[in-house]
Chains A and B, each alone.
Chain A
């Protein structure tokens, strides 16, 4: 204990604190911050992992915007997915939570049923969905046929591939539902009682009380939803034909990035793409934060 001799208690505690976080700091610098900065530099080079790393200025970005047809396809596909998926997931999550917040029979059972899918994840789920979405023998089209609808070819028809993935990902809405559900239970009952006495209907109570009271959670889910929706990758990697097909309709941003990095070894180019995506998501998040002042309601003021 001589080491700490001559130090004041505060200094000693500070030093001990740093020693405790030291492994984490090393890990962060070596495995996170280091590679992050490295990829930022790589974005301005023709880095290909094994043979070269020459500084080429903005050439990667020029190529992305001026000469790469697949890049614009990938951006279009990703934006399409984000724009439809995030609002849909939010609305479904809230509605589901409100429904399951009612005092009905088998409430626990339904809560479990709806939450269960979000426990499962990964490739197994995608393989299962590929079977469900199979054009002629899949369960979904068989059910549609029962009510007289000839279902689309889903993953084989480029007009339906992205909607198919959006619908599929609604399956996992249970995770966000749970957050809403927890939040709903903390909405004070007296607000509803007061509104009822004043003659507010169900719809009014929902929009004037429920929604405002849970806006902080909606906001949180929208922000994280945007971030994760932009990162869509696995679904397309597993479920598309020729990694991105048919007709490049599932060539999402990250799938194209992966192809550039690991099939063609254009790691510099892929790094440029990664940083562009980071910048785009950053801007959207900041925008969200700015807009949140207009619609997010924090009880007890700011």
Chain B
């Protein structure tokens, strides 16, 4: 009897043990593996995204994310082929400006089934960024990172010519006035330029947004707003800068530009510029000798607005991906405040998550000056316009850019050029598939 009892209890113990082992083995097998494709393969970015992935993997035991690096030139062609073949990766980093196109073409998956409360979920992100991922009634991605541009000036240069080093220009008129004082031009040879609108990281398109009170080429309804009086005026203004200094002189001066220590601002060849927030890191690392101030972009006239422009990337689940629910869990993590803070601080890059942005601005891994500049960049996001392309208008810029070229080359007047662009884009919209 005793022996029987003993063997029964042994059996029970053995059974329980094996059941435990078995269930452990089963749950190990049940772990879902998902792939994240990014083009972040550089020495700086790769460890950062891999750390975010690793922390996600450690935070739970159901999903394992594997980071796959694919070069910038290949990643989206590969994704496209994978979607067409029906076996895409689970999460892909993609361009923020064409989410609608990919939604329409069934390349990206609608994420609404995985979001309990879209309004609440979206409130984590800057509204201008969230706007880019919404198409019709669906949500086709989650904004990850972005950038913004603001004004930077060399305080020593200001002091040297008798300007108040703590007072940056706030309007275009002041900008011109200061620039003339800061210029050092000997005949055709430029030694130093106070300001030139297209140096730094601010293009023709972006000045149009600043000049036209924050309205880009298309308004929010997708109507072309190309030949508005303000845009014509802005284009004239840009051309005036080029003519005053001389096109050839500008080109010759620009040909000497490089990056890092050869950056024109850092080498003291340029006193003021508009550049992306991340340019701060180059100034920090290579321009220790400079006293630099950072401020919003000067407005066209008082009250017209210190607008700026940004791009960025979203995380998407390609259409037809398996384990979409688990993939979305990872996206929530990567676009959540902690991961976003980490990305922001380590890259000095702007992120989509509002809380993550403000956390980064107070993060002690940044120097006090770094925190201050980062805070300015976060505030600047409120003025930063995104220019997502409507789903059926991909390629419309190919009709606008040549006209801008024509105006800059003096082939057409700014008014003629923008009128033509307006007509061409209107026709393009009429012919576009609905």
Binding site for B on A (CB under 8 A): 48-51, 63, 67, 69-70, 134-137, 153, 156-158, 242, 244-248, 251, 259-260, 262-265
Q: Is B148 an interface residue (CB 8 A)?
A: no
- The segment from B54-62, B259-267, B393-401 that touches chain A is B393-401
Kindly report which residue of chain B lies nearest to residue A262, judged by CB atoms: B77
B395 — which chain A residues lie within 8 A by C-beta? Answer: 259-260, 263-264
Interface set, chain B 391-413, CB cutoff 8 A to A: 394-395, 397-399, 401-402, 405-406, 409, 411
- CA distance in complex: A38, B113 (Å): 36
- CA distance in complex: A244, B77 (Å): 20
Kindly report which residue of chain A lies nearest to residue B253, judged by CB atoms: A136
A245 with B402: CB separation less than 8 A: yes
- CA distance in complex: A265, B80 (Å): 10
A245 — which chain B residues lie within 8 A by C-beta? Answer: 401-402, 405
**Residue in B77, B104, B398 whose beta carbon sits within 8 Å of that of A70 in the complex:** B398
A137 — which chain B residues lie within 8 A by C-beta? Answer: 252, 255-256
Report the minimal beta-carbon distance from B321 to chain A, rounded to whole angstroms: 13
A248 — which chain B residues lie within 8 A by C-beta? Answer: 398, 401-402, 405
B107 with A242: CB separation less than 8 A: no
- CA distance in complex: A18, B252 (Å): 65
- CA distance in complex: A157, B101 (Å): 33
**A135-B255, A262-B77 in contact; A49/B402 too (CB < 8 A)?**
no
Report the minimal beta-carbon distance from A4 to chain B, rounded to whole angstroms: 40
Report the minimal beta-carbon distance from A208 to chain B, rounded to whole angstroms: 48
A265 with B402: CB separation less than 8 A: no
- CA distance in complex: A244, B397 (Å): 12
- Number of A-B pairs whose CB atoms are under 8 Å? 75
B252 with A135: CB separation less than 8 A: yes
B105 with A50: CB separation less than 8 A: yes
- CA distance in complex: A50, B106 (Å): 6
**Residue in A49, A135, A259 whose beta carbon sits within 8 Å of that of B105 in the complex:** A49
Interface set, chain B 229-275, CB cutoff 8 A to A: 248, 251-252, 255-256
A51 with B105: CB separation less than 8 A: yes
A50 with B409: CB separation less than 8 A: no
B401 with A242: CB separation less than 8 A: yes
Q: How many residues of B contact A (CB 8 A)?
A: 29
Report the minimal beta-carbon distance from A12 to chain B, rounded to whole angstroms: 41
- CA distance in complex: A48, B401 (Å): 25
Binary A-proximity of B82-107 (CB < 8 A = 1, otherwise 0): 01100000000000000001001111
**Residue in B84, B409, B431 whose beta carbon sits within 8 Å of that of A157 in the complex:** B409
**A242-B401, A244-B398 in contact; A49/B84 too (CB < 8 A)?**
yes
**Residue in B104, B252, B405 whose beta carbon sits within 8 Å of that of A246 in the complex:** B405
B405 with A158: CB separation less than 8 A: yes
Q: Is B424 an interface residue (CB 8 A)?
A: yes
Q: Is B40 an interface residue (CB 8 A)?
A: no
Report the minimal beta-carbon distance from A68 to chain B, rounded to whole angstroms: 8
Q: Is B207 an interface residue (CB 8 A)?
A: no
**Residue in B106, B394, B397 whose beta carbon sits within 8 Å of that of A51 in the complex:** B106
Report the minimal beta-carbon distance from B402 to chain A, rounded to whole angstroms: 5
Q: Is B313 an interface residue (CB 8 A)?
A: no
- CA distance in complex: A48, B84 (Å): 10
Interface centre among A69, A134, A264 (most CB of B within 10 A): A264
Interface of B is mostly: helix
B84 — which chain A residues lie within 8 A by C-beta? Answer: 49-50
Report the minimal beta-carbon distance from A265 to chain B, rounded to whole angstroms: 5
Q: Is B140 an interface residue (CB 8 A)?
A: no
Q: Is B280 an interface residue (CB 8 A)?
A: no
Kindly report which residue of chain A lies nearest to residue B424, judged by CB atoms: A69
Kindly report which residue of chain B lies nearest to residue A51, judged by CB atoms: B106
Kindly report which residue of chain B lies nearest to residue A159, judged by CB atoms: B409
24 contacts between A and B (CB under 8 A): A48-B105, A49-B83, A49-B84, A50-B80, A50-B83, A51-B104, A70-B398, A135-B252, A137-B256, A156-B251, A158-B409, A242-B397, A242-B398, A245-B402, A246-B402, A246-B405, A246-B409, A247-B402, A247-B411, A248-B398, A251-B398, A259-B398, A262-B77, A263-B395
B255 with A247: CB separation less than 8 A: no
A265 with B399: CB separation less than 8 A: no
B399 with A263: CB separation less than 8 A: no
Q: Is B319 an interface residue (CB 8 A)?
A: yes
- CA distance in complex: A74, B9 (Å): 85
A63 with B83: CB separation less than 8 A: no
Given A50-B106, A51-B107; 7 other pairs, CB 8 A cutoff = A50-B83, A51-B106, A134-B255, A135-B251, A153-B251, A260-B395, A265-B101
B248 with A136: CB separation less than 8 A: yes
- CA distance in complex: A276, B411 (Å): 32
A136 — which chain B residues lie within 8 A by C-beta? Answer: 248, 251-252, 255
A63 with B431: CB separation less than 8 A: yes
B406 — which chain A residues lie within 8 A by C-beta? Answer: 247
B431 with A265: CB separation less than 8 A: no
- CA distance in complex: A69, B426 (Å): 13
A49 with B80: CB separation less than 8 A: yes
Kindly report which residue of chain B lies nearest to residue A264, judged by CB atoms: B394
Report the minimal beta-carbon distance from A85 to chain B, rounded to whole angstroms: 23
- CA distance in complex: A242, B77 (Å): 19
A50 — which chain B residues lie within 8 A by C-beta? Answer: 80, 83-84, 105-107, 319
- CA distance in complex: A136, B411 (Å): 22
Report the minimal beta-carbon distance from B72 to chain A, rounded to whole angstroms: 14
Interface set, chain B 404-434, CB cutoff 8 A to A: 405-406, 409, 411, 424, 427, 431
**A49-B84, A263-B394, A264-B395 in contact; A67/B405 too (CB < 8 A)?**
no
Kindly report which residue of chain A lies nearest to residue B394, judged by CB atoms: A264
B248 — which chain A residues lie within 8 A by C-beta? Answer: 135-136
Report the minimal beta-carbon distance from A258 to chain B, rounded to whole angstroms: 11
Report the minimal beta-carbon distance from B432 to chain A, rounded to whole angstroms: 11
